[in-house]
Amino acid sequence: MTTNDDAPYRTATTVWPTIHERVLAAFARGWDAPEPHAWDNLMEEDVELHQPLTQPGTTRRTWHDEAQRIVTLLPDIRGAVMSWAGQEDLMFIELQLTATLGAKPLEFRAVDKLWLTVNGTVLRRDSFFDSGPLIQAVMRRPSAWLPWWRSGLGPFMARRKFLVR
4-162: CATH topology: Nuclear Transport Factor 2; Chain: A, (3.10.450)
The pLDDT of residue 53 is 86
- Per-residue pLDDT tens digits for 55-67: 889 999 999 999 9
CA distance linking residue 36 with residue 141, whole number of Å: 26
- 116 Cβ neighbours under 8 A, 6+ residues apart: 19, 23, 89, 90, 91, 122, 123
- Per-residue pLDDT tens digits for 8-34: 444 556 699 999 999 999 999 999 999
- Per-residue pLDDT tens digits for 66-123: 999 999 999 999 999 999 999 999 999 999 999 999 999 999 999 999 999 999 999 9
Q: What share of the chain is helix, strand, coil (3-state, %, to 5)?
A: 40, 30, 25
- pLDDT confidence tier of residue 155, bands split at 50, 70 and 90: low
Query: What residue segments make up the domains of the chain, in order of their start?
Result: 4-162
Instruction: Output the average pLDDT for the chain.
Output: 87
The pLDDT of residue 161 is 55
